[in-house]
């Protein structure tokens, strides 16, 4: 089973994403957690570029910045799953996360 980040990296080869964002995400997958300066040094970026490139993934819940370190969110479902859930909720469906039992009336 491939990890979501690995699937993202495959899309990078087709030019679907900015390579720098993919490089940052790949480093976070490999190292787990890094401060901004170290992450930037590994990807040949300065701190401002790291913050700018990780803004969208952070807003989407894909990465987090906590305690001065960047890390991937392990249970991030992906944008497609989030969009599908929003669509179903807009149509009146009630969704529960996997492995969570619905309350019995």
| pLDDT 10s digits, 59-77 | 888 899 999 999 998 877 6
The HSE-up count of residue 14 (CA atoms within 13 Å, CB side) is: 5
| Nearest by Cα to 57 from 38, 78, 43, 31 | 78
DSSP bridge pairs for 91: none
Q: What pLDDT score does 103 carry?
A: 58
- pLDDT at position 69 is 94
* Among 84, 82, 37, 94, residue whose Cα is nearest residue 57: 82
pLDDT reported for residue 35? 94
pTM above 0.75, yes or no: no
Per-residue pLDDT of 8-64, as tens digits, reads 555 444 444 445 788 888 889 888 899 999 998 988 888 999 999 999 889 888 899
Domains of the chain as residue ranges with CATH: 4-76 (1.10.10.10)
Determine the pLDDT at residue 86: 86
The DSSP symbol for 75 reads T
Pick left, alpha or beta for residue 88 (phi over 0 → left; psi -120 to 50 → alpha; otherwise beta). Answer: alpha
Tokens of 89: 């909720």
Express each pLDDT in 83-104 by its tens digit. 888 899 999 998 877 665 655 5
Q: What is the pLDDT of residue 4?
A: 54
């Amino acid at each position: 089973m491939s990890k979501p980040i690995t699937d993202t990296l495959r899309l990078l080869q087709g030019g679907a994403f900015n390579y720098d964002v993919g490089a940052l995400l790949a480093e976070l997958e490999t190292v787990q957690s890094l401060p901004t300066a170290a992450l930037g040094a590994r990807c040949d970026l300065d701190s401002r570029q790291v913050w700018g490139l990780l803004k969208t993934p952070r807003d989407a819940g894909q990465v987090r910045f906590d305690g001065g370190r960047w890390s991937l969110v392990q249970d991030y479902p992906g944008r497609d799953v989030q969009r599908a859930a929003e669509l179903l909720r807009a149509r009146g469906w009630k969704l529960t996360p996997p492995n969570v039992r619905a309350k019995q009336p």
